[in-house]
Structure 1
Amino acid sequence: MTFVADHAETIRVLLVDDQELFRRGLRMVLEADPGLEVEEAQDGLSAVAQATASPPDVVLLDVRMPGMNGPEAAGAIKEAAPSARIVMLTASDEESDLLDSIRNGASGYLLKDSSVDQVSDAVRRVASGQSLISPQVATRLLEEFRVLATRDEPEPRGTKLSDRELEVLRLVALGHNNKEIGRALFISENTVKNHVRNILEKLQLRSRVEAATYAVRERLLDLP
């Protein structure tokens, strides 16, 4: 089901990718949605310049680009236009790229094999203040960090969380949105939002993307 934004205002999107064919094709598809207004940039440097001159609502940003890469551009864009929300849209599912992107202010991370509906939903979700991580990337993170399950470490900060908060955090780390988490746990979407807010406050994190990454790093999940 396609996410419906809370407002009818046009969302200004800056699409940044050095592959012109991909960039132009995605722009054509996104602009079929009357609620999205799309501009383009061919690399990180030009994206920073455009975002500085005219801050977009959402930036769709590739990770691997010549010159200034995606995470570097994300950091510069957030400095120049703090209100801009950034979604990495990339072919890379490498953990290092994900973590660099999050550290530099990305609110979402999608792979380029995502459907057009998923990309449109991502734009609307981050524009409304949500953060996201695609299920494919969440699965990759879980696979990368399985080895940590046997590592001897001090008690993690996750012990501050209630049992219900740990359940919510696990589903967040698996890439589920609030509505899906609510259905899985038989609670309302507003209750899920409250749990996520409490989790972020207790763990001193800024977004659910950071929470998902933290969860797998600190062995807060029951990995099979």
Structure 2
Amino acid sequence: MQPFRVLIVDDHTHAREGIREILEEYKDFIIVGEAKNGLEAFQLTKELMPDVILMDINMPVMNGMEATKRIKLQFPFVKIVIITVSDDITDLFDALKNGAQGYLLKNIQSETWIEHLKAFALDEVPMSKEIALQILKEFPQNQTKKDKNIPLSNRELEVLQLVAKGLSNRTISDSLYLSEHTVKSHLKNILSKLHLENRVQLTSYAYKQGLMDFE
């Protein structure tokens, strides 16, 4: 497998250096560029086409939220992972709604950090209960707009519901007696058919369409 091409975005020099030191220890990642703000990140994304962007939230010129939104609109295939010292669920949820794959806290151990980053790059991170609850708060059940014809097969609907419950690809494969490769293939097809970017948006869709129970 080719290493993931990474763009680091943070307005603090020491923070970028720290991230670079962590990544350089692992062959799974190669750093292709660094940016000091969201605008630079957007411009470098066009030039470098990274696989993954590590994006800080609070930056001058253009913050990480706006940069994430702009990049995902133009380059939906680029994975964006928010890096932050805060686990404020509201900020993180806003970033995820704008298309980010997930978030990493800056103060966790480097081994765990890399483990999680690799999972984000491979689309293997399950939904957290906190994010699922935040999705539920977004809309009352009686205000949802349901599609009459959901363009998914029965198996894809099963996978979607299990994703919305917060299950990992491995757990889904065990539950449905499928290989992880097949689960990933279903997940890719579901995202494509529904024109969605990540598990957060899939979970939101599942609740809006009445495919999950409101508890």
Query: Does TM, scored on the shorter chain, surpass 0.5?
Result: yes
Task: Tell me the distance in 2 between the aligned counterparts of 1:62 and 1:123.
Answer: 14
SS in 2 for 1:60: strand
The correspondence for 2:184, drawn from 187, 193, 204, is 193
User: Which 10-residue stretch deviates more, 57-66 or 158-167?
Assistant: 158-167
Q: Hey, what does 2:39 align to over in structure 1?
A: 45
SS in 2 for 1:152: helix
CA contact (8 A) 2:126 2:199 kept: no
The correspondence for 1:211, drawn from 196, 202, 211, is 202
- Cα shift at 1:77: 3.9
The correspondence for 2:96, drawn from 68, 84, 98, is 98
- Cα shift at 1:194: 4.3
- Cα shift at 1:31: 1.2
Alignment of 1:1-224 (within 5 A): 7=1, 9-38=2-31, 39-77=33-71, 84-90=78-84, 91=86, 92-94=88-90, 95-99=93-97, 101-102=98-99, 106=100, 108-112=101-105, 116-117=110-111, 119-121=113-115, 123-124=117-118, 130-131=122-123, 135=127, 138-146=128-136, 151-153=141-143, 156-157=146-147, 160=150, 164-200=155-191, 203-224=194-215
Over aligned residue pairs, what C-alpha RMSD do you find?
Answer: 3.5
Gap change, CA 1:62 and 1:214, over 3 Å in 2: farther
Amino acid at match of 1:141: I
TM-score if structure 1 supplies the norm length?
0.70
Gap change, CA 1:79 and 1:195, over 3 Å in 2: closer
Task: Tell me the distance in 2 between the aligned counterparts of 1:124 and 1:182.
Answer: 19
Point out where structure 1 has 5 or more consecutive residues left out of the alignment. Answer: 1-6
Task: Tell me the distance in 2 between the aligned counterparts of 1:206 and 1:46.
Answer: 23
Task: Tell me the distance in 1 between the aligned counterparts of 2:155 and 2:11.
Answer: 43
SS in 1 for 2:142: coil
Gap change, CA 1:211 and 1:24, over 3 Å in 2: same
Gap change, CA 1:29 and 1:167, over 3 Å in 2: same
CA contact (8 A) 1:148 1:217 kept: no
- Cα shift at 1:214: 1.9
Amino acid at match of 1:157: D
CA contact (8 A) 2:6 2:29 kept: yes
Task: Tell me the distance in 1 between the aligned counterparts of 2:212 and 2:112.
Answer: 26
Task: Tell me the distance in 1 between the aligned counterparts of 2:72 and 2:138.
Answer: 32
CA contact (8 A) 1:18 1:65 kept: yes
Gap change, CA 1:83 and 1:183, over 3 Å in 2: closer
Task: Tell me the distance in 2 between the aligned counterparts of 1:140 and 1:67.
Answer: 30
Task: Tell me the distance in 1 between the aligned counterparts of 2:9 and 2:83.
Answer: 9
Q: Deviations over 1:57-111 (max 9, x none)?
A: 3211123323212132234445776764322333342233321x21xxx3x1124
Task: Tell me the distance in 1 between the aligned counterparts of 2:77 and 2:156.
Answer: 29
Point out where structure 2 has 5 or more consecutive residues left out of the alignment. Answer: none
Task: Tell me the distance in 1 between the aligned counterparts of 2:104 and 2:83.
Answer: 6
- Cα shift at 1:159: 7.3
Gap change, CA 1:11 and 1:198, over 3 Å in 2: closer
How many correspondences in the alignment?
A: 208
User: Which 10-residue stretch deviates more, 205-214 or 72-81?
Assistant: 72-81
TM-score if structure 2 supplies the norm length?
0.72
